[in-house]
Structure 1
């Protein structure tokens, strides 16, 4: 009887690894955000440094994501996934033990952003290789729901760890969690091949970068508006007359509902065959309407705008990844390295642009501009999809030719 060591890891374990690595990858940035009051008081730094740190993290993620496809081809999917989790663990450990001045924080967040950037496309490829076609939508939805999960973990760290034990202990525990994630990733020999035979939904064949760059531009705009929601929802609510404690609860509820929306949309993608990139564009446009509600200054409309925004304008990330991987059969890491790069760039630039506009105008103006950008984002996504499918006959023919050659 053969030992269990040689048996393939199930798709559930591969998907779990993708979700947990994604959570660990963004945890350093969100820990800095929620622990900033304690960090700032301890290191005696100015409030503007937080924006620099978050922007550095997401900007580095965007740049490094562009190289993830090459890195996956060179090192392999599993090694890159593990490298991403190990980078998160080491950077949080460095912050816990050695952050005595702002330079260490900046360097740590830049390195952590690099690890997060390479880990996102690699974990996408892990799902594409290991999870069957009929469950990949749910898997990508769960993966993207890991980002709100990391926010939740960071928030829980404040009352349970940071206040009684200090913010350095919270970073130390985060490093331990990330290391446990690395150890849980199945080895390359244990990965199943459930996803390798999944049929393409709309197109497949030779790699086309130009349409993906257009699509990435739309996703960048959408991510910028979505991350502005995550960054300024609480301050907008407080400015509208909602009590700070209530605004915090509203943000937590909206984020949790948004995470569930990402999972639900992924679940539906496995059961309904439709033009999912058009659904992504529609989500962005509806999100734009919700952002306009945030600029009204009316308490009830602000609450509705926050919840609807999280469920639409910032709930499409997993669905877009699912659509791109299905349209680039066997090239998930290469294709999503471009789209993830766009999302990372938008996530970095969005809050900075919103904050800059807010400093010279008002919440009403800033949210109106954000709403307009969300609609533009949807239109650019439609254009990117059109460009991807314009060569569909040639792409599908090339895919069939490769399959025939493989059988010969």
Structure 2
């Protein structure tokens, strides 16, 4: 829920803890709500296809529209200035998500496309804004955990959609579930709009001058890491159950493995953020280690018996999709005052990879399922390589600054 004391985003010392934890909780709630336009259709895929007579390819295209719209939203955010009151932007985004979900419930033939487009754009546009909020309003010790909490909201939204759809869609149908979710988004938008209307200027975001922001090697390498890493994560989310059932697992067993993997993914994102908050120098080791672990997991999914594939699924979920919070955290750190624009680069990479991974897996699974997992293994290795390049580039840049400073002093 967005309600936390007076205002989940306020910076007033009288209404929030000094750490900025209420900001992190509010951001996580917004992330859950703006993620649901892609996860609800995925969970209701069978029901929607049966009612509308759609093929799985058409539903896959609707989900791809969400991530491509998210890419465009992140691109626009990269070029936009951070507003003085970010809550106003978040309220508009939640309102757009609400309208999209209502259209999907009322007229799915058109509304599902509109919901994916509006929801995806809202998600991609607001992600860099909320990254900037976390960087500026959370203490250094809490910051990495706040990013982990925010990114844990994404698999949490997957679990919520997967649980709510079977429980509620059976008695009432999938349309009321969409409409109920739209109401939640609308209420959250009204809450944030009310916060802005109160004139609570403590919610304003300070404008901070930072270094010039260019598409340099550091930014591009971490954007590439997000692209390849998202290919793994979203390909895994879309095709793990199918792969396990093809190997002989029952649907209940395959679903249990996928649920355990999603729960592990949430735990990894939270624990990694908590750990890096206390041992900041471990951030790069953790990031590259996650990509490597995910590559091992998808390699096990490509070959081996069913039990080994289940272990691979957990490794792939925990490592191959547990990196998201750390990625946005490390890309925002060097750009004080420009966190929004810096993390827009990584968000564009993530959004493009999220659309590309499932599409590539869908094509490859029709030929050879093992080939799909091998491609995702290669993507995991590529993500790790990009992270190593970014780390080396960051070290060189810091050393260069030290040398220039020494020259200036002499």
TM (norm. structure 2) is: 0.88
The structural deviation recorded for 1:81 is 2.1
- Confirm or deny: 8 A CA contact 2:292 2:384 kept in the other structure: yes
Question: Alignment partner for residue 218 of structure 1, among 225, 231, 237?
Answer: 225
Aligned residue-pair number: 386
- Confirm or deny: 8 A CA contact 1:205 1:398 kept in the other structure: no
- Confirm or deny: 8 A CA contact 2:101 2:111 kept in the other structure: no
1:169 and 2:191 correspond:
no
Match of 1:93 in 2: 102
- Unaligned 5+ segments in structure 1 are 198-203, 400-408
- Confirm or deny: 8 A CA contact 2:38 2:116 kept in the other structure: yes
Secondary structure of the structure 1 residue equivalent to 2:384: helix
Match of 1:140 in 2: 147
The structural deviation recorded for 1:397 is 9.5
Secondary structure of the structure 2 residue equivalent to 1:66: helix
The structural deviation recorded for 1:180 is 3.0
The structural deviation recorded for 1:329 is 1.5
The structural deviation recorded for 1:388 is 3.7
Q: Select between 389-398 and 50-59 the one with higher mean Cα deviation.
A: 389-398
- Confirm or deny: 8 A CA contact 2:221 2:389 kept in the other structure: yes
The structural deviation recorded for 1:336 is 0.4
CA 1:210 to 1:232, structure 2 compared with 1: closer, same or farther past 3 Å? same
What is the distance in 1 between the residues matched to 2:303 and 2:382?
21
- Confirm or deny: 8 A CA contact 2:132 2:340 kept in the other structure: yes
Question: Alignment partner for residue 121 of structure 2, among 114, 117, 121?
Answer: 114
Query: How far does the alpha carbon of each residue in 1:19-65 deviate from its partner, in whole angstroms, 9 at most, with x for none?
Result: 01111111011000111111112222222111101111111101211
TM (norm. structure 1) is: 0.88
What is the distance in 1 between the residues matched to 2:178 and 2:404?
49
1:233 and 2:233 correspond:
no
Question: Alignment partner for residue 343 of structure 1, among 344, 350, 353?
Answer: 350
The structural deviation recorded for 1:393 is 4.9
- Confirm or deny: 8 A CA contact 1:21 1:84 kept in the other structure: no
The structural deviation recorded for 1:181 is 2.8
What is the distance in 2 between the residues matched to 1:373 and 1:363?
16
1:190 and 2:199 correspond:
no
- Confirm or deny: 8 A CA contact 1:291 1:305 kept in the other structure: yes
- Unaligned 5+ segments in structure 2 are 1-5, 406-410
1:80 and 2:89 correspond:
yes
What is the distance in 1 between the residues matched to 2:55 and 2:328?
37
CA 1:75 to 1:83, structure 2 compared with 1: closer, same or farther past 3 Å? farther
CA 1:255 to 1:394, structure 2 compared with 1: closer, same or farther past 3 Å? same
The structural deviation recorded for 1:395 is 5.6
Match of 1:368 in 2: 374
What is the distance in 2 between the residues matched to 1:319 and 1:358?
31
What is the distance in 2 between the residues matched to 1:336 and 1:83?
21
What is the distance in 1 between the residues matched to 2:257 and 2:266?
14
Secondary structure of the structure 2 residue equivalent to 1:65: helix
1:23 and 2:35 correspond:
no
CA 1:393 to 1:206, structure 2 compared with 1: closer, same or farther past 3 Å? farther
Match of 1:207 in 2: 213
